[in-house]
Amino acid sequence: AQKVTQAQTEISVVEKEDVTLDCVYETRDTTYYLFWYKQPPSGELVFLIRRNSFDEQNEISGRYSWNFQKSTSSFNFTITASQVVDSAVYFCALSGPDKETSGSRLTFGEGTQLTVNP
Amino acid sequence: NAGVTQTPKFQVLKTGQSMTLQCAQDMNHEYMSWYRQDPGMGLRLIHYSVGAGITDQGEVPNGYNVSRSTTEDFPLRLLSAAPSQTSVYFCASSYSSASEYEQYFGPGTRLTVT
């Protein structure tokens, strides 16, 4: 069974602070994919990044960076110099093979509400 | 490219009423799915489809039906609405059901059942 845990329900920071959102996952599969999605106040979900289980290189995209560590089953997301526009709910998700259907199963964490105050 | 569209954006139903949430995508994606989002529970899969004519149940299918007569459309039907179905519903599509493809989400439908 797959499981994703985002232990931080809510985080509040002041603009320009760095903030890290934690994501811990459980799976028995050797091949799987990890995702981060952003849900701004407008409500839609926006895809941010995908990582496969064989690629542990960290990734940086502008102010965003992701740290994938298989040894601790974690895929943490850091926002550097946060801005008010970063305020959103962020979801970590895990996709792996669904043996019952030969397709895949996407499991979401509970989400972390990030509030960036001016 | 409109992406994934959902109608309506908001809906209020009385207990026992039925209705259909519409979902359409114009990306020729094989895989489509419905999720519900409840506070503190993330998104949970209701039903999904790997292609026209093929549907299957997800994690929380009770009280919902789906059909997929075309690649583009994937409506979700509430058979007899209950207050427990008050939620935000998201439709999503993906190039295929394989693990590596990200899903594209619609704007959501906020449903209240009184």
Chain A environment of B40 (Cβ under 8 Å): 9, 110
Q: Which is nearest to A13 in space by CA: A82, A91, A68?
A: A82
Contact A111 B42 (CB under 8 A): yes
pLDDT, mean of residues B8-15 = 97
How close is the nearest chain B Cα to the Cα of A62, in Å?
21
CA angle B48, B49, B52 (to 5 degrees): 155
How close is the nearest chain A Cα to the Cα of B45, in Å?
8
Q: By CA distance, what is A110's nearest residue in B?
A: B42
Using 50, 70 and 90 to split pLDDT, how confident is the model at A96? Answer: confident
State chain A's mean pLDDT as an integer: 93
Between residues A14 and A102, which one has the greater pLDDT? A14
Between residues B1 and A69, which one has the greater pLDDT? A69
- CB count within 10 Å of CB B11 equals 17
The predicted pLDDT at position B97 comes to 79
The predicted pLDDT at position A101 comes to 64
- Residues of B within an 8 Å Cβ radius of A: 31, 33, 40-45, 48, 50, 56, 88, 90, 92, 97-100, 102-108
Using 50, 70 and 90 to split pLDDT, how confident is the model at A102? Answer: low
